[in-house]
Structure 1
Amino acid sequence: MDNQAMPMASTSSYTKVQHLQRQAASLLLYQSVLQGEVGIAFLELLQAIRYTEADARGCLQAYGNYFYALAAKNQNWEDYLITQLLFCENPFTRLAQQRKFEDLSPALIAAVQHDLQILQNLYECSSASLSEWVQSVAQMPISPVVWYKEQELVGVETKFATYLQELDNWGDVVEELATYYRQYGSGLFAEYRALRWQAGQVLSVFGILTP
């Protein structure tokens, strides 16, 4: 970070953004949730809101990249984060499919609880809030357009997403999440319900997934 950079956001938004950045950096198992194009654009936007050029061009460009990433996925930030959570592949999601919940390591369970609480905070950082922070940083008369579309998660993803939305603390759902992974899998096998093996490649209806 450039030591000459100065925070351009208000003290309140600056503190919130700083807290979100620290939390995102402290994920223990679910780092991949933020490693796709949308997650990267989200993190870069937080950085731009916290530290930006005096003319705010960097912040506006970062917001544009974030908006574009959501539009390309055709998902809201909240829906994107939940789908990445449900499709994520990590030591917990793999072991949850192989062992009973009571046989999982207490340290592994504690790590999942930690990560779920962080992901809940990131989930609650809506695109509308980000737009308002950008408006403040860029000193714009109105806030940038907010990407939004009606929720289109389907099937079991919708049911689990609704369940999460009703919880005060996502950290309480570890056992239910383990059951979800055991029933529906994780990684490619959770994201794509129909796969086939052809000529040494895993294929879906959309084409080649892995070499």
Structure 2
Amino acid sequence: MSQKTLTTTLLALDSLSIYRGLLNDKVINSLRSLLYCLNKTDTELREIVNSYNDYYFELAKSGTMSLQEYILDKIVFDENPFTFNLQAVQNNGFDPILEKAASNDLKALQLVSKLEPAMIKAALNQLFEEPGCQTLIEGLPDWAIIPQTSGSLAHIQQIKEQFCRSIQWAECLKELKIFHRTYGCGVFARYIAFVWEKTNGQGYLKGIDHPDPITLDELVEYQNERSPVIENTLQFLKGFPSNNVLLYGDRGAGKSSTVKAILNEYHTQGLRMVEVPKAYLADFPLIIRQLKNRAQKFIIFVDDLAFGDNEENYTSLKAVLEGGLESKTPNILIYATSNRRHLVKEYFSERAGLHSGNHNEEVHAGDSMQEKLSLADRFGINVVFSSPDQKRYLKIVEGIADSRNLIIDRERLQREALQWALWYNGRSARTAKQFVDWIEGHLNLNI
């Protein structure tokens, strides 16, 4: 009976069509090799033991010891014709052929997920009855039977729990379709934040497991500055006309924190964020090709933006801001932060070149100067974040302290906050947070 079950499980894997890409997964592939090995008529115990442990090793490396949990994870995040069609911007609607194939695959994957180590050991005991073999077989390591779905984002945990509660996984197809239409598929369903990285000259999106958890409620003061950014983001999410945004001004005023908090506030509405280092701005066309035609809305985040006099990367940014044929796409905006209003450095010598008789100067120096000055103007919304005066700085300190329920004399809090600003970095929202971090730790240490 056990041998027949193993054969049926192998057939279930071989029958995958829409989710066939899972056969290239290391865990699934090694499990498939183990089942093939068990179905051979001339198999040796040594070969099976190696295949068993290869599969077990790959499962252990994945971060879970439950085969069912692993398969559920692959179902939820798989990118295939069925899931990609559901999350595409121009959804072609109901496709009964793809849906039927997906339903059959869910039945097959559920059957595979029920495979237990005891089944394999029982089959091995029937094949190898020689003395000493049973001890080796029973000593093979076990994997977990009950999955653990906790620890994920709420919407991911919810869809996995629906599968776990269901007697027939195919009956969860409706909920799975809603999930993909709402949250996308592949890495865009798994992560809300990404960073563009390069390895051996090849750029790729790397998902961020634990993005900065800062929320809008934690940001004290600067409500007027944040208001147009939030309003623009809501217009973007609702499909209304919206603008690229430049947040510039003094360091530590909360520009980057504002952008990160907006992601945490609205990611459940389909917002995603991709941070692009300034050095990789020339990769904008590659990035946009990966993001367009998806239902999610993407903010490309460029932090601490500024260009030297000899840098040409700003031409890539300018092309995207102007909305060229390749660049313009309705599901992407650029939010950038900078300590400079004029993003490209300008020199007095360039202005002198306007009236210079020097043959080495540019003939149309004024055009170059205007091009540099106009980069910031290509952002539809410019928001200024200025360093706080003493009164505003103390309000920020008090607001952060109150949010943490710190018990401290108000006069002492203000006095030490002003001393801290003198000793470290001057008055800013960042300095205020650093001070409250210090005073909270100091108070707890001396309890």
Q: TM-score, normalised by structure 2?
A: 0.40
* 1:35 lines up with 2:31 in the alignment: no
Aligned counterparts of 2:23 and 2:188: Cα–Cα separation in 1: 20
- Quickly say closer, same or farther: Cα 1:176–1:39, change in 2 above 3 A: same
* 1:146 lines up with 2:142 in the alignment: yes
Check conservation: 2:37, 2:51, Cα contact below 8 A: yes
The structure whose Rg is larger is 2
Aligned counterparts of 1:106 and 1:54: Cα–Cα separation in 2: 42
**Structure 1 residues 47-66: Cα deviation after superposition (integer angstroms, max 9, x where no partner):** 11222645411111111101
Q: Which has the higher contact order (CA 8 A, sep 6+)?
A: 1
Aligned counterparts of 2:183 and 2:166: Cα–Cα separation in 1: 21
Kindly report which structure 2 residues correspond to 1:1-211, keeping only aligned pairs within 5 A, or say none.
Answer: 12-51=1-40, 53=42, 55-75=44-64, 76-98=66-88, 103-139=93-129, 140-141=134-135, 143=138, 144-148=140-144, 151=148, 153=150, 154-155=152-153, 156-198=155-197, 200-205=203-208
Q: Counterpart of 1:16 in 2: which secondary structure?
A: helix
Offset of residue 103 of structure 1: 2.7
Q: TM-score, normalised by structure 1?
A: 0.80
Aligned counterparts of 1:184 and 1:28: Cα–Cα separation in 2: 23
Aligned counterparts of 2:77 and 2:108: Cα–Cα separation in 1: 17
Offset of residue 108 of structure 1: 1.3
Alignment gaps of 5+ in structure 2: 210-285, 288-447
- Quickly say closer, same or farther: Cα 1:205–1:147, change in 2 above 3 A: same
Greater mean deviation of Cα atoms: 66-75 or 125-134: 125-134
Check conservation: 2:159, 2:175, Cα contact below 8 A: no
Check conservation: 2:194, 2:205, Cα contact below 8 A: yes
- Quickly say closer, same or farther: Cα 1:147–1:52, change in 2 above 3 A: farther
Check conservation: 1:30, 1:115, Cα contact below 8 A: yes
Aligned counterparts of 2:191 and 2:124: Cα–Cα separation in 1: 36
**Structure 1 residues 170-192: Cα deviation after superposition (integer angstroms, max 9, x where no partner):** 11221210111112211121233
Offset of residue 15 of structure 1: 1.7
Larger helix percent: 1
Aligned counterparts of 2:160 and 2:116: Cα–Cα separation in 1: 16
Q: Percent identity?
A: 23
Q: Counterpart of 1:195 in 2: which secondary structure?
A: strand
Check conservation: 2:149, 2:161, Cα contact below 8 A: no
Alignment gaps of 5+ in structure 1: 1-11
